[in-house]
Amino acid sequence: MVSRTEIERRYSAVREAMTEQHLDAVVVCGSEYTGFEGAVTYMSGFVIVHRYAYVILPREGEPTIVFPAEARYVGEHGTSWIEDQIFAERPGQYIGDRLAAQRVGLYGLDYVLAVRDFEAMHQRVGFVPFDVEFDLARAVKSETELESVRDSVRINTEGFWAFLEAYAPGKTAAEVLAPAEKLFVEEGCGRLTMNMVLVGAEFAMARESTVLGDFCIPSLEIAGPGGHWVEVSRSLGKPNAEVSKMLEAYEEYFDAAKPALRPGATSHDVHRAVSKGFTDRGYHLGHVTGHSIGMTMIEHPKIGEGIETELRENMVFSMHPHVIAENGQDCLYMQDTWLVTADGGEPLAGLPMRIYEAGETRP
């Protein structure tokens, strides 16, 4: 159960960002699509399991959570700490009527907001995109949130070991991932998992038709019972000569990230530090180097070129340089969840940065 102190801390941080943007209210959108429900959970305690929901936070006064009435069950409504719960035939119509002529920050405008609700709202409400501001307001984690993050990391790391113990060349991706998914469900992740393998340089779902070879790259992403997403994985098996050279750069990234992920450094600074070993070797980087992570899977800021956001203590980042060879097939991708501390970055999983062998057991 989230404490009243933690709830007020979250609302205060968002309202501070609202004041800077001269907003009257903020509307936070959430969707059942994996990874996009977390903003509503963060603001209300409610976990979406079907369709979508909105949270309205005024600059003053109590918040409201809005559900679509045509699907009365979109989750366990009693889990929300928000007392004002609205079931609207057209949520966009209700929000438009309530916030007409106000200046409103909208989180989820680009990826989450239902089109029919946008059509009902946008001509009456002065919407201001609020994705970056909202994410930065929640980027610094409280001690309560860090407990949830560490628990998610524990579960994810256990899932990695389950994946490794099941892995062998010739097995299908589905049967290797199954023990890890079973563990995730038993540990309380519910539907908040998104786990894949890489086939060549592309991400693919772990299907029965995908047969694993001598080298395997899993991508394991879960949120534990507290709702905080994390990413922890290592590659498995026998790398070829090209991938072995990539591993050298990965080891350099891992060492460079520790001093780079410090308060006051910019996301650009971190990207340059951790990508140097790859670019010096002439490799192309595919998927984003890293990003803030919390109750939404991918949050701002990302770790990338030209991102001048300064890091602060107790920010949490997923780091996963995706290095691709010139042939477009050979690649390496391993994930870690890092905490920004006063002394630099702390990798929370405690896994050495290396490629693990098939049949290897945990220490």
202-232 pLDDT, tens digit per residue, is: 777 777 888 999 999 999 999 999 999 999 9
Residues 6+ apart with CB under 8 A from 355: 234, 235, 236, 237, 239, 247
| pTM, rounded to two decimals | 0.93
Q: What is the pLDDT of residues 72-106, one digit of tens each?
A: 777 788 889 999 999 999 999 999 999 999 999 99
CATH number, domain containing residue 246: 3.90.230.10
CB 51 within 8 A of CB 193: no
User: Is 354 among the domain residues?
Assistant: no
Domain membership of residue 55 as a residue range: 4-139
* 33 contact partners, CB below 8 Å, separation of at least 6: 112
Instruction: Tell whether 206 and 119 lie within a shared domain.
Output: no
At 20, which CATH number? 3.40.350.10
125-173 pLDDT, tens per residue? 999 999 999 999 999 999 999 999 999 999 999 999 999 999 999 999 9
CB crowding 106-139: b at 16 or more within 10 Å, else e? bbbbeebbbeebeebbeebbebbebbebbbbbbb
Which DSSP symbol is given to 124? T
Distance CA 87, CA 279 (A): 52
Q: Are residues 51 and 97 in the same domain?
A: yes
Q: H or E stretch including 148?
A: helix 143-166
Pair (267, 194) in one structural domain:
yes
Side chain identity, residue 92? G
Same domain, 149 and 57: no
Q: Calculate Rg over the CA atoms of the chain.
A: 21
Q: 166 with 240, same domain?
A: yes
Q: Which two tokens stand for residue 159?
A: 């899932």
Residue 361 lies in a domain: no
166 and 311 in a common domain: yes
Sole residue written with tokens 């501070």: 16
pLDDT at 69 over 80: yes
CA atoms of 163 and 166, how far apart (whole Å): 5
Instruction: Please tell me whether residues 28 and 126 are part of one structural domain.
Output: yes
Do 296 and 154 share a domain, yes or no?
A: yes
Amino acid at 252: E
